[in-house]
Amino acid sequence: MRHLIQPRVQAIQLSGIRQFFNLVAGRPGLVSLTIGQPDFPTPEHVKAAAQEAIAADFTTYTANAGLIELREAACQFVADKYGLRYTPDEVIATIGASQALDITFRTILEEGTEVLLPAPVYPGYEPLIRLCGAKPVYIDTRPNGFRLSAELIAPYITDRTRCLVLPYPSNPTGTTLPGETLEEIAALMKGRPIWIVSDEIYSELVYRGRHRSIAEWLPKQTIVINGLSKSHSMTGWRIGFVFAPSFVIEQMVKVHQYSVSCTSSISQKAAIEALTAGKHDAEAMRAAYAERLEYAYNRLTAMGLPVEKPDGAFYLFPSIAAFGMPSFDFALDVVEKAGVALVPGSAFSEYGEGHVRLSYAYSLDVLKEGLDRLERYIDKKAASAR
């Protein structure tokens, strides 16, 4: 019966992040620095709002696009934080940012269209694009410090280009795009029949300056993806948002309706609390991540691992090119000989090869132990090479 399964589904794979995590999971004594999961609990007042909703039997369907109070709160949040202006009919509450991406691509992509992706890049985009019959086109950002630019984009634009994805702050590199770069990209794209899908899930985790969205310059061509997983440590609550002009939201909500009907009513009530009373909840987490970033960055550079210093998110992407090993082999060797897990750079497209990703969404104690082990491994490698 295998031949009756949709070929595009058979062709996609589990993400390289999960593949490696599953491969090494369960090893005794392993220090894992792999997953982008905040180690903070969901704020107490947010949990209390959900408990109140349960006690009040708020367990029914909501409007497909989400509670009007939630959409109003989401609009106010991005207005206050990033200067973006949306109305409730220009936002959908989704099952996390992942579902927001899914309904976006299914609404705007067609067979044979192309999506520009800055690489190395989060592996969750390509499968969604291919399931739509579209083609991912990777743009190598390594020569520009992992930052996309208008100059890098221009040669890749064709009459088949339907969409450009801007995933900043970036997973896996932690880089962001400054306002002048976004303005240049907006000028390049303005008036072209190309959507900008701006994945801003890490927008509250920016360490230098404030987060900027290309929607400031190109609101009518931009679809903004965001959510509460990283900003409020609400990964399991599955609350995301898609912001876009109302004419495309009207079409997206049909895809959303027939796939999930609506987001969890309890999670929506918790999200209202997070976006209003918890508007600044990310600040304490951001300060802790900034401290961890400094510690981990200094440790890696002291080990002789070249690494771009991130501007946001909670990842470091050091080069391991000096070891002359494929990133998967290197990461597996570190697991087996040092007892610490990192994600192979190859999980983030071929342009991530020669790197590994380290998540510092872990306590300083865990980071210290993991980096101590990594340092001992590297010292042994250097000694054996002499």
Report how far apart, in Å, the C-alpha atoms of 50 and of each of 125, 149, 260 are. Answer: 31, 42, 20
Q: Chunk the chain into consecutive blocks of 10 residues (it has 386) and report each block's average pLDDT, rounded to whole numbers.
A: 80 75 80 93 98 98 98 98 98 98 98 98 97 98 97 98 98 97 98 98 95 98 98 98 98 97 98 98 98 98 97 98 95 95 96 98 97 97 75
CA neighbours closer than 13 Å in the CB half-sphere of residue 199: 27
Compute and round to an integer the Cα radius of gyration of the chain. 21
Which tokens hold the place of 131? Answer: 């399931």
Do the strands 114-119 and 161-166 form a parallel or antiparallel pair, or are they unpaired?
parallel
The whole-model pTM stands at 0.96
d(CA 33, CA 383): 25
What is the reported pLDDT for 386?
62
What is the reported pLDDT for 230?
97
d(CA 229, CA 285): 13
What is the reported pLDDT for 345?
97
